[in-house]
Structure formats: C-alpha cells, structure tokens
Amino acid sequence: DTAVSQTPKYLVTQMGNDKSIKCEQNLGHDTMYWYKQDSKKFLKIMFSYNNKELIINETVPNRFSPKSPDKAHLNLHINSLELGDSAVYFCASSQQPIGRGNTEAFFGQGTRLTVV
Amino acid sequence: GDSVTQMEGPVTLSEEAFLTINCTYTATGYPSLFWYVQYPGEGLQLLLKATKADDKGSNKGFEATYRKETTSFHLEKGSVQVSDSAVYFCALVPGSARQLTFGSGTQLTVLP
C-alpha cells in the first residue's frame, strides 16, 4: 500500500483554469504538507496542516488554497492557473509537526503540473 | 534566515567510484540535518540524518557527519552503484522551526 498518494500524477491544463490535486496518507499521521519543486529541483514548502488546522502558510499567491477535510487528506486547489505555476507539487506527511523530536517526513510521488 | 547550500550538479561517476556531495548550512540554534534522496519518478525518501554535532548518519553505504565547526554535512559513499542514480537533497530543521528547509538538490548519475 502506498503511504502517501497523490492524484493525478500528471496534469496538463490551460492558463486561467482551476484545478485540484488530491493527497491522502494512510500512515495515521497528524501533519501534512504541500511542497512545490521548480524546474531547477528546488523544493519550497507552501502549506502545512496539523489535525486539520493550518500551521504553516508560506508566501504563496492566494490563488492557492489548501483544504483538509480530515487529517488523512490534504488537497490543493489552484484558481486561475498561470504559466509560472508549472512545477512538480509534492504532498508529504509526518507523525507530528516537524521539530527536533520528530524529523521524518514521508513524501508522495509528486504531481507534475504543466500550464500551457 | 536558515538555508542550505549544496554543490551544483549534475555529478556523473563511474560505478564503484567514490562519491562526495558537499552541503553547508546556515541556521540559528542547533539544527537537525538530513539527506533525502529522490529516485526517478518517485517522491523524496529519507536517506540519513544527524541531530547533534559530531553525529554520523549512515544508511545503504552512505554516510554524513554533522560538523558544527564547519557547518557542514557532506554526503559520502565509498563505491557507488548504478542504482544510486538519483537527486540528493540536503535539508535541515532549525531548532525552533516546524518545517524542513531543503537545498537545491544534486543530480547524480552513475554509469556502468
């Protein structure tokens, strides 16, 4: 069984569209994350939820909105897609918020978003 | 702010060669340090970690030592295999933060 699964794996869409990426973890973790990986492989955190509560909200356009219906799911909705949104988006989870006592995050396979 | 600097890639080696990927960091307090690996088409996996100065993390033949005096956490392997071809990320968790901060990643290709 896949621990952290994302759908879809690939997403090609036109500028201006609205799209969602879904993420589910079956590890029983309390905390989930969205990361964006750009074309140079640089990873940057976007959001984090702990027990359905938003705890990290980095500087991203408000066109990006995370939603956590329960602690096993963290979806990412993107409005009015732009060319610069093209990237690989990774979902991840950890037992608790990452800190000195808990330091391992488990990542999904990524969603490659291409905006044309 | 907190940051991680990795050596630029790509790195191409022949099988059984010695590998070093340099990583240095800037952080307040005493961070925990990590190496994550991303195999083609997959998500990141934790490779090894060290949580305090002079700790050595090791896994699958890879090693890295937490050097506070040089603020470094270089990744080494004595004899690489083709299956080690992947992107390697150095990362840290600062003492008080609740997130991983990643370096830019280093692409490693091992040729048979």
Q: Which of B34, B49, B100, B109 to mutate to test the interface with A (most CBs of A within 10 A)?
A: B100
Give the closest-approach CA distance of A67 to chain B in angstroms: 19
CB contact under 8 A, A104 and B46: yes
Q: If 0-12 CB within 10 Å is exposed, 13-18 middle and 19+ buried, where does residue B56 land?
A: exposed
Q: What is the pLDDT of residue B28?
A: 80
Residues of B within an 8 Å Cβ radius of A: 32, 34, 41-46, 49, 51, 87, 89, 93, 95-100, 102, 104-105, 107
Tokens standing for residue B61: 């033949």
Instruction: Give me the residue from B32, B44, B107 closest to A100, CB to CB.
Output: B32
Is the model's pLDDT at A100 over the cut of 60?
no
What does the CA dihedral A93, A97, A101, A104 come to, rounded to 10 degrees? 20
Q: What is the pLDDT of residue A1?
A: 63
Query: Which of A73-87, A100-114, B65-79 has the least mean pLDDT?
Result: A100-114
The answer to whether the CB of A85 falls within 8 A of the CB of A77 is: no
Q: What is the pLDDT of residue A102?
A: 65
The 10s digit of each residue's pLDDT in A65-75 is 999 999 999 99
Instruction: Give me the residue from A40, A100, A110 closest to B95, CB to CB.
Output: A100
The one-letter amino acid at B10: P
Q: How confident is the model at residue A19 (pLDDT cuts 50, 70, 90)?
A: very high
Contacts of A107 in chain B (CB under 8 A): 43-45
pLDDT in single tens digits along all 112 residues of chain B: 788 999 888 999 999 999 999 999 998 878 999 999 999 888 889 999 998 899 999 999 999 999 999 999 999 999 999 999 999 999 998 876 677 889 999 999 999 9
Is the model's pLDDT at A8 over the cut of 70?
yes
A48: contact with B, CB 8 A cutoff: yes
A104: contact with B, CB 8 A cutoff: yes
Instruction: Give me the residue from A42, A55, A105 closest to B100, CB to CB.
Output: A105
The whole-chain average pLDDT of chain A stands at 91
The answer to whether the CB of B32 falls within 8 A of the CB of B93 is: yes
Contact partners, residue A59, CB within 8 Å, separation at least 6: none
| Interatomic CA distance for residues A74 and B14, integer angstroms | 41
Sign of the CA dihedral with A98 first, then A37, B46, and A21 last = positive
Contacts of B34 in chain A (CB under 8 A): 103
* β-pairing verdict for B86-93 and A106-107: unpaired
CB contact under 8 A, B98 and A97: yes
What integer is the mean pLDDT of A47-75?
91
More confident residue, A28 or A39: A28
More confident residue, A56 or B84: B84
Q: What is the pLDDT of residue A59?
A: 78
Number of A–B residue contacts, CB under 8 Å? 61
| Interatomic CA distance for residues B62 and A13, integer angstroms | 40
